[in-house]
Structure 1
Amino acid sequence: MEWRDAQRMAARAMSAILAAHHVEHAFIGGFAVQTLGGKRHTEDIDIEIDINDRESASRHQIVQHLITADSRFFLQGTKLFFTPAEAPEHSIPIETLPIGSLGLPPTLDIIRLGDGDDQIPILRPSVLVLTKIKRCIHFIGSTRPKSRRKLEHDLLDIRYLLLYLVKQGEKINFASYSSPNPERLYKAVGDLFQYYRSEGPDDMADTLLSVLEDSDRAKIDSI
């Protein structure tokens, strides 16, 4: 079994258990991009979960639901993993993130990929790209090897998502991010545009502009 197959197995199993407990959720990060068709390898699975009070006890309860319902989920210290019975050499790390934490969207705008019971819910690409942009700008200019690797990975994911939006005829959806501070989103996109103009390929600057609504572009220009 390939690593990606094990990841998808983990995501489907996790989604089924959360749905059974009526817990809204969406996969984000590199795994969500991969589910859309991205080719970049990603080690872990990030999932945003609608936990109303966002207390650690509630996150603990979610984890308990998972490991009680399916023995393939297990804890190693405080970290959650999934290991397929068919591929015990694969231990997939899973990061559970309460909705709205770490600047993530406080609401979940979801699309579902796959058929029937195999569907995997991910954050809508027009919103997912903003989560990637918000993160990557913090790594621009860093000389630390770890930060430079994160920037490289984020830029690859952003490129895939921007081209995906172009292909689908969609625009970046600032409104669906429901940010309490939308100016930060606009500034982040503006910073990425300047990065593309100064250091990145010019075609990506043009691609970024092409997936912006005129009104959003005006707001970015005004910052």
Structure 2
Amino acid sequence: MHWEDAQRMAASALSAVLTNHHVEHAFIGGFAVQIIGSLRRTEDIDVQIGLTDGTSREQVVQHLLAADSRFSVRDTKLSFTPAEAPEYSVPIETLPVGSLGLPPALDIIRLGDAQYPILRPSVLILTEIKRCVHFIGSTRPKSMHKLESDLDDIENILLYLKKHGEKINFASYSSPTPDRLYAAVGKLLQHYRSEGLDDMVDTLLWALEESDRAKVDPA
């Protein structure tokens, strides 16, 4: 078993338990981009969860622990460890819908052999861009590494959107501060231009609806 196999096993088990308990969920972050087609290794699994009827994140974690002994919590961190490969312990981050500036609603698409629920790529890309632009210009090695990883994820999502004829969907992000989304995409566009990445400039501009392009790149 490889690390990626352990991750996908974790995602399948996680999704099965959440579905059984009627918890709406969508994978985001690097794992979701892997499902889209990225080959980049990611160290954990991020999943957005919809909490309804007073259900708390802690209750969701308890559902996982009770349903499958491969889930465990150590130092408040949730993880999944395959019985046949205990050397692989996959960290899992459960993020309530709307937390940390994430979309307040889930727009889900199912992809991959196991039909993993992921945030729709046209919305997922905005979560990646929002995080990515915070690292632009940083000289800290850790931040530079995160920037490189995020840019790789964004490129993979843009290629997916172009292949499927889809545009970035600002409306479906349902942000209370849409101007910040436009500003973040504008900052990414400026970064591509400053680095001479003309192909990425063209691809990003293609992925914008005409009305959105005017807000991102008014010049």
Other structure's SS at 2:72 match: strand
The one-letter amino acid paired with 1:139 is F
From 83, 86, 104, the counterpart of 1:85 = 83
Task: Note the 1:1-223 alignment, pairs <5 A.
Answer: 1-52=1-52, 58-114=56-112, 118-222=114-218
Structure 2: segments with no counterpart, 5+ residues? none
Conservation of the 8 A alpha-carbon contact between 1:12 and 1:119: no
For residues 155 and 19 of structure 2, what CA distance do their matches in structure 1 show? 31
Relative to 1, partners in 2 of residues 1:53 and 1:131: Cα closer, same or farther, differing over 3 Å?
farther
Measured after TM superposition, the shift of residue 52 of structure 1 is 3.6
The one-letter amino acid paired with 1:72 is R
- Deviation string 1:10-36 (CA, Å, 9 cap, x unpaired) is 001101100111110000000000011
TM-score when scaled to structure 2? 0.96
Relative to 1, partners in 2 of residues 1:53 and 1:202: Cα closer, same or farther, differing over 3 Å?
farther
Conservation of the 8 A alpha-carbon contact between 1:170 and 1:211: yes
Conservation of the 8 A alpha-carbon contact between 2:35 and 2:112: no
- Deviation string 1:109-156 (CA, Å, 9 cap, x unpaired) is 0001245xx321000001000000000000001111111111010000
For residues 37 and 214 of structure 2, what CA distance do their matches in structure 1 show? 31
Q: How many residues align?
A: 219
Conservation of the 8 A alpha-carbon contact between 1:172 and 1:212: yes
Measured after TM superposition, the shift of residue 215 of structure 1 is 0.5
For residues 112 and 181 of structure 2, what CA distance do their matches in structure 1 show? 30
Other structure's SS at 1:138 match: helix
Identity across matched positions, percent: 73
Measured after TM superposition, the shift of residue 200 of structure 1 is 4.9
